[in-house]
Chain A
Amino acid sequence: MSNGNLEIKAISGHAGGTPGGGEYRQADGTTRIGASRDYDVCKLIDTTTCIGCKACEVACVEWNGYEFRETTFDNTYQTMPETAWNFWNLIKFNEVETDGGLQWLMRKDQCMHCEEPGCLIACPADGAIVQYTNGIVDFNQANCIGCQYCVTGCPFNIPKFNDATKKVYKCTLCSDRVGAGLEPACIKSCPTGCLHFGSKEDMKFEAMKRIDQLHANGHANAGIYNPGDPDQKATSPGSIGGTHVIYVLGDARDPEKYGGLPASPSVPIFVKLWKGPLKWLGGIGMVAGVFGVFMHYIRFGPKEVDKAEEVKR
């Protein structure tokens, strides 16, 4: 991996073109996006081999330079109810009753780095959110204005507001490490090997290999969570074009039981209406309105009462 992985693909609230963006034709005749796209990166989380040790939580806080924030005890093993502005990686523990048994499900929760990120679509601030050609969706707090529209666009409840700085924060998929050719901090810390990092294609292949293994061992409902990916829409629905963090779930029929993973995530329809038709209709309407009254003026002109009166006299 190289710095080429941090070529920008999409920018929030941006009126002009995207540096490094746009399609171009390669020597072999295929087209690709971005100036120097090596490949999409992806994190694979195998929930069936996660032991809930929370090493990834610690590694995340350490690498990103935050103090370990206060935890909340709610009679479970979970560190806190949800991720926080300075705590981007949280293992969610869920106890699920089955026929005569109990399942203890653990899932590493963090930004999913959507292919079509709702946060970026909703963001009005130029350059506050960028999507790199390698799939990483990154927040740039220097350009953030604290409006929290990103919160409204996210189907996974990930961006978190810091009241002191008035900025929003979330997992960067260690874009700083990835740009330097390293794997994300959480991956590096995982003792069971349930976390993998590589190209999206490789991770999808690895996930399917593991799922075949699980099927062979009698876990018939095991499956992949990669919502809306064109290749996997049938088993993992959604309208966000797939994610750059994918899961192997022991029971893919009901992702909700893995700490509230949405079964079919999508960017809220009102975000799309507001950033789509309303924006264009509003803009055209305003220009048409100003032009319209101008045309009215040159056609009919003013109601000159005082002058007309003078002429009569």
Chain B
Amino acid sequence: MSGGIVARPTTAIPEDQVQRYTFAERAYHWINSIAYTYLLLTGLALFTPLAYWLAYVLGGPATIRYWHPWIGLVYFATIFWMHRMWKRDMQKIPEDEKWSKNLRAYAENRDELMPPQGRFNAGQKQFWWVMFFSTFILLITGIIMWIPEKMPRELHWVLPIIIFIHSATALITIAAFIIHVYMSVWVTPGSVKAMVEGHVSTTWARTHHRLWYEKITGRRN
């Protein structure tokens, strides 16, 4: 499957380029990114006194306590929609196993050792599922932390555990987030353009996502 990519006749894609992300995919991705960045910075402010200054930068401590949960809902909603758009592309394919096994070669830019990959490579899929499942954990724990006063007193003993899980899960997403931003902005030039303008060069597509390239172009090289 090409993941529902349909280039509309009106979409002008330059020569030697193929469409990588539709407008909807780009829009959801960037709403999600902005929401995540806000949640990251405000969350860190409440996580450690060393980052509490961020609370003042972002409008004041009581203000970020008010908005963090609401922006969390925006984040969840966009993750939900991204899941609807990408769930087929995120399924495992047989080549993924070899890709994961050769992860070291990929990290050392010996890409000739890597098996051909579909629309997303195995690493991107792992990133996606980490964020997807973390989002659910963050949502459930976050709602409880939003309105602890509504919780019966007898259940208050779970609150420290809930907060601990929320923080630990957020840290896992931060690890994934650092790698995601680094990979897209620095390691694979062209990725940011793909997510902003929607298209990539045929060379880029053939090199990084050969199976996807062959599928959408019908070409063999």
The answer to whether B160 touches A152, judged by C-beta atoms less than 8 angstroms apart, is yes
Known: A146-B62, A157-B153, A303-B188. Is A15-B167 also a contact (CB below 8 A)?
A: no
Question: B149: which A residues are within 8 A, CB to CB?
Answer: 148, 161, 163
Mask: chain B, 157-179; 1 = CB below 8 Å from A; 0 = not: 10111011001100100110011
Q: Which of B62, B157, B186 contacts A145 (CB under 8 A)?
A: B62
The answer to whether B160 touches A302, judged by C-beta atoms less than 8 angstroms apart, is no
B57 within 8 A of A: no
A149 within 8 A of B: yes
Known: A148-B149, A163-B149, A270-B160. Is A306-B190 also a contact (CB below 8 A)?
A: yes
A282 within 8 A of B: yes
Pick the 3 closest A-B CB pairs, nearest first.
A270-B160, A15-B49, A293-B182
Give the interface segment out of B4-12, B79-87, B89-97, B200-208: B200-208
Known: A270-B160, A297-B187. Is A151-B148 also a contact (CB below 8 A)?
A: yes
The answer to whether B65 touches A126, judged by C-beta atoms less than 8 angstroms apart, is no
Tell me the residues in window 107-152 of chain B with beta carbons closer than 8 Å to chain A beta carbons. 107-109, 111, 145, 148-149
Q: Which of A268, A300, A301 contacts B160 (CB under 8 A)?
A: A268
Determine how close the nearest CB of chain B comes to the CB of A299; give it in whole angstroms. Answer: 9
Question: B3: which A residues are within 8 A, CB to CB?
Answer: none
Tell me the A residues contacting B by CB distance below 8 Å.
13-15, 82, 122, 124-126, 143-149, 151-153, 157, 161, 163, 166, 268-271, 273-274, 278-279, 281-283, 285-286, 289-290, 293, 296-297, 300-306, 309
- Can you sample 6 A-B contacts with CB below 8 Å? A13-B49, A157-B156, A268-B160, A297-B187, A301-B109, A302-B188
* Interface size bracket, B side: 35 or more
Max count, chain B CB within 10 A of own CB: residue among A274, A285, A303: A303
The answer to whether B207 touches A148, judged by C-beta atoms less than 8 angstroms apart, is no
Question: A300: which B residues are within 8 A, CB to CB?
Answer: 107-109
The answer to whether A270 touches B161, judged by C-beta atoms less than 8 angstroms apart, is yes
C-alpha gap A268/B156 in the complex (Å): 11
A-B CB pair tally, cutoff 8 Å: 126
Max count, chain B CB within 10 A of own CB: residue among A122, A273, A302: A302
B28 within 8 A of A: no
The answer to whether A309 touches B203, judged by C-beta atoms less than 8 angstroms apart, is yes
B198 within 8 A of A: no
CB closest residue in chain B, given A167: B62
B30 within 8 A of A: no
Max count, chain B CB within 10 A of own CB: residue among A15, A126, A152, A301: A152
CB closest residue in chain A, given B50: A15
Q: Which of A124, A152, A153, A157 contacts B52 (CB under 8 A)?
A: A124
The answer to whether A305 touches B190, judged by C-beta atoms less than 8 angstroms apart, is yes
Determine how close the nearest CB of chain B comes to the CB of A263; give it in whole angstroms. Answer: 16
Question: A13: which B residues are within 8 A, CB to CB?
Answer: 49, 52
Question: A281: which B residues are within 8 A, CB to CB?
Answer: 171
Determine how close the nearest CB of chain A comes to the CB of B157; give it in whole angstroms. Answer: 7
Mask: chain B, 28-46; 1 = CB below 8 Å from A; 0 = not: 0000000000000000011
C-alpha gap A283/B49 in the complex (Å): 11
C-alpha gap A41/B163 in the complex (Å): 33
Question: A293: which B residues are within 8 A, CB to CB?
Answer: 178-179, 182, 186
Question: A82: which B residues are within 8 A, CB to CB?
Answer: 153
